Amino acid sequence: MTRLILATRNAGKITELRSILATAGLPHDLIGAESYPDIPDVKETGITFAENALLKAHALAQATGLPAVADDSGLCVDVLNGAPGIFSARWSGTHGDDQANLNLLLAQLSDIADEHRAAHFACAAALALPDGTERVVEGRLKGVLRHTPTGTNGFGYDPILQPEGDTRTCAELTAEEKNAISHRGKAFRALVPVVRELLG
């Protein structure tokens, strides 16, 4: 069985990708980066989601000698010309402070009318092999931004993005409902044929 390493220590992401690969019938043993605690986190110096995903995947593939999968994702707001984008996790200045990021974004959009609150979640998922071979695929979830957060599921900007065709925010969806339509779900599912092509 081919081992695949996922460039995250987030247990939720590992579970999600395991489920997608298993559903697709791929016999790959997926392990998280926590199995290699000596490998430092990679600085995300790219200017696109794809560049950052590839940076992380290549670094892990080189360090472990295993095929590596990485993703980078964020929220892109139309009226902000695609921001916060790659800066989504540190929009407020502190990396990973979901509440501060959410509060700042809502404050910045406080005067923006409903018809101009279009946004989408974007995700780039990359596969890199130790020999330097690389592939990257992308997924999107389009929607509109609410004025106030609603729901307690998910994380990040989930409480304010209402997917197209739904009346609920991403934070009001079950994990199964969200995975079926999410940017990350779409990107990882698009990665399945790539894994099959390169790894068998």
Task: Say what the pLDDT of residue 39 is.
Answer: 86
pLDDT tens, the chain, 200 aa long: 688 999 887 777 788 778 877 777 777 888 888 888 888 888 889 999 999 999 999 999 999 999 999 999 999 999 999 999 999 999 999 888 999 999 999 999 999 999 999 999 999 999 999 999 999 999 999 999 999 999 999 889 999 999 999 999 999 999 889 989 999 989 989 998 999 899 87
Q: Is 72 a catalytic residue?
A: yes
186-199 pLDDT per residue, tens:
998 999 899 989 98
Contact 78, 121 (CB under 8 A): no
Terminus-to-terminus CA distance in the chain, angstroms? 10
107-124 pLDDT per residue, tens:
999 999 999 999 999 999
* pTM recorded for the entire structure: 0.91
- Distance separating alpha carbons of residues 9 and 36, to the nearest angstrom: 10
- Domains present along the chain, CATH in parentheses: 3-199 (3.90.950.10)
**CA triplet 42, 46, 119: central angle to 5 degrees?**
110
Q: Which of 29, 71, 72, 158 is catalytic?
A: 72
Positive/negative CA dihedral, 152, 154, 157, 158 = negative
Q: Exposed, middle or buried: residue 42 (CB in 10 Å: 0-12, 13-18, 19+)?
A: middle
Q: Is 111 helix (H, G, I), strand (E, B) or coil?
A: coil
Structural tokens at position 95:
């990396």
**Location of structure tokens 């979640």:** 121
